[in-house]
Amino acid sequence: RSTFDGSDIGFNQTVDAFNYWQQPGDTDVAPSPKYAVSDRAIYYNSDRWLEKGDYIRLRNVTLSYNFPKKYLEKTPLSSLRIYAQGQNLLTFTKFWGDPEVGISSGESISFADTVAPGETTLYSYPNTKSYQMGIDVSF
- Does 24 share its domain with 58? no
pLDDT tens, position by position, 71-128? 999 999 999 999 999 999 998 988 777 777 665 444 444 444 555 554 555 566 778 8
* The model scores a pTM over 0.85: no
CA atoms within 13 A on the CB side of 89: 11
CB 86 within 8 A of CB 55: no
- Does 42 share its domain with 70? no
Strand 130-138, strand 79-93: pairing: antiparallel
Print the domain residue range for 89. 51-139
- Does 34 share its domain with 84? no
| Gap between the Cα atoms of 37 and 32, Å rounded | 16
Strand 130-138, strand 55-66: pairing: unpaired
- Does 96 share its domain with 108? yes
